[in-house]
Structure 1
């Protein structure tokens, strides 16, 4: 795999770990409230994140090499 992908994965892990490390109570409440959301809403939210990630990746690949 490309080292850029591994770097991005490492950054995601760091950012994901900050929530429970810095504010465990808030993080737990957020996760508990998400369990109450309908599946369809969670799917749309996840899809939106995927699309946003692809757009950011594309923008960095196309415009970041200049």
Structure 2
């Protein structure tokens, strides 16, 4: 059980690192000059990636919390 919790925490840290990277990339795109700052497929992909990572982290948080009380 302790191994499982540690594995979940490790996976969560990896997802958080990926989330931070995606946020940084999106911030960089959004801080471009007006003529370069447009909603395109790449930006839509980053937003989708952020949403998926956030959902994954939330699910991991739930699993970690449940494993503490088992």
Higher RCO structure (Cα 8 Å, ≥6 apart): 2
Output the TM-score relative to the length of structure 1.
0.45
Output the TM-score relative to the length of structure 2.
0.42
